[in-house]
Amino acid sequence: MNSPSVVLAAGGTGGHLFPALALAQELGRRSIAVDLMTDMRGDRYGSDFPARHVYKIPAATISGERRSPITIARTAFTLGRGILSAYRQLGSIRPGAVIGFGGYPSFPPVLAASLRGIPTAIHEQNAVLGRANRMLASRVTAIATGFPTVRHLDPAAAGKLRFTGNPVRDAVFESAKRAYVPPSPDGEFILLIFGGSQGARFFSDVLPAAIELLPPQLRQRLRIVQQCREEDLRRVDQAYTALGVQMELATFFRDLPERMAAAHLVIGRAGASSVAELTVIGRPSILVPLPHAIDNDQLNNAKQLAESGGALCIEQKDLSPNRLAQEIERLAGDPDTLARMAGSAKRVGKPDAVAQLADLVEELMGLRPPRQDGRGTN
């Protein structure tokens, strides 16, 4: 008898891949085999993904507000190829369930699974239901969410809803064991800055200018750990060197959860995975939502954490170097506020999210009785 297996569909960015990675790790602990279906971009994470097999499925995104007929036709053709490819692969794999994590790379496998009659679920990481997930909501068996309330959900699909929270990777749980220690008045102040390619560009422009405006005694305390794009590394390094600031710059931090745990303050975008990791670890942050994110999902994510007291939410249009310098100086001089923010972030974290999502998967596969609240596995 074959062991039970699940296909996870995710791709494009780490924001979709990391929750899938967390679920794969948990399912592995439950002796459930995992296969990954992803696009060509997501495949770069494949070597680190605990899957038996990684299947590359054609996928495309209709981007921008002005969608030409040619673009739409090309996208439809690519998605059609992806659906056919996923349909054939699923016929060979014969999984007990298929779980999609949003973004257009998840669309072909989840739709193909529904056509085959395989139980399906989508997981929405953000406080706004993404476009691909909106298109799939009427076809899937269950809808798991990272936030208690989600915008743009069709009321007809409300009975499928299950609030699980956003799963985080094993490395995050390890880092969460480290308690927050606020900075001492004259001690080192560790500032972590990250935010994907678009965030890295903006922060590479605004951070050095803000740091220059800080009092010299505070600059001497600073140790900056910052993600930068390759083309920005040299100029950012030169700017901090001229200011006499300790720094560590990189295009990517593989040990980002550990870096979060070591930081006194985090500055970053407000992607759902980042917010989930900040809350499970429990670190104060200044969140700068991506201004052109589809449906303002990052703004909604940041506002929810800010309302809890765990973060400051500042829109990019309002974040001048002077404003950022004022906030850094204020927080660096107020360890009690930083500690309160860290505690507030930790309280809204959902460390059991991955277990709850794995429970839902087992329900879909018939390995666990359906939850008795009547929601999530209709």
Residues in CB range of 290: below 8 A, 6 or more apart: 196, 198, 199, 269, 270, 271, 298, 316
Q: Is residue 220 domain-shared with residue 200, that is, in the same domain?
A: yes
Do both 158 and 242 map to the same domain?
no
Q: What is the pLDDT along the chain (378 residues), one digit of tens a residue?
A: 467 999 999 976 667 788 999 999 999 999 999 999 998 654 555 457 899 999 999 887 755 555 678 888 888 888 899 999 999 999 999 999 999 998 888 999 999 999 999 999 999 998 889 889 999 999 999 999 998 888 888 899 989 999 999 999 899 999 999 999 999 988 999 999 998 655 688 999 999 999 999 999 999 999 999 999 999 999 999 999 999 999 999 998 989 999 999 999 999 999 898 999 999 999 999 999 999 766 788 998 999 999 999 999 999 999 999 999 999 999 999 999 999 999 999 999 999 999 999 999 999 999 999 886 644 444
CATH code, domain carrying 329: 3.40.50.2000
As a whole number of angstroms, the longest Cα–Cα distance in the chain is 68
Phi/psi of residue 64, each to 5°? 85, 160
Query: 33-38 and 97-100: which strand pairing?
Result: unpaired
- The pTM for the full model equals 0.85
Residues 123 and 27 in one domain: yes
* Sequence-separated (6 or more) residues with CB below 8 Å from residue 5: 32, 33, 34, 35, 52, 93, 94, 95, 96
Query: Does 220 lie in the same domain as 129?
Result: no
Q: Is 370 within the bounds of a domain? A: no
Q: What CA–CA distance (Å, rounded) separates 261 from 282?
A: 8
pLDDT of residue 66: 54
206: exposed, middle or buried (C-beta count within 10 Å: 0-12, 13-18, 19+)? buried
Q: Are 361 and 316 in a shared domain?
A: no
Q: Kindly state the DSSP code that residue 160 receives in the 8-state scheme.
A: G
Number of separate domains in the chain: 2
> Does residue 372 belong to any structural domain of this protein?
no
| Predicted local distance difference test score (pLDDT) of residue 96 | 98
Q: Is the same domain home to 256 and 143?
A: no
Does residue 63 lie in a domain region?
A: yes
pLDDT of residue 378: 41
Gap between the Cα atoms of 130 and 15, Å rounded: 13
According to DSSP, the β-strands at 246-250 and 5-9 are: unpaired
> What pLDDT score was predicted for residue 376?
45
- Verify that 120 and 35 share a domain, yes or no: yes
DSSP per residue, 26-71: HHHHTT-EEEEEE-TTGGGGGGGS--S-EEE-------SS---HHH
Residue-number span of the structural domain to which 301 is assigned: 173-348
Tell whether 377 is covered by a domain: no
Residues 296 and 223 in one domain: yes
Which residues is 7 bridged to in the sheet? 35, 98
pLDDT tens per residue, range 52-109: 999 999 887 755 555 678 888 888 888 899 999 999 999 999 999 999 998 888 999 9
Same domain, 357 and 291: no
3-state DSSP percent of the chain in helix, strand and coil, to 5: 50, 15, 35
User: Which pLDDT does position 36 carry in this prediction?
Assistant: 95
Q: Are residues 114 and 222 in the same domain?
A: no
DSSP letter at 251? S
Regarding whether 149 and 204 lie in a shared domain, the answer is no
Residue 267 lies in a domain: yes
Q: Are residues 285 and 333 in the same domain?
A: yes
Closest CA to 278 of 320, 308, 248: 308
149: in domain? yes
Angstrom distances, CA of residue 230 to CA of 21, 64, 197, 297: 26, 26, 10, 27
Residue at 22 is within a domain: yes
Closest CA to 124 of 137, 108, 113, 115: 137
Residue 228 lies in a domain: yes
Q: Determine the pLDDT at residue 88.
A: 97
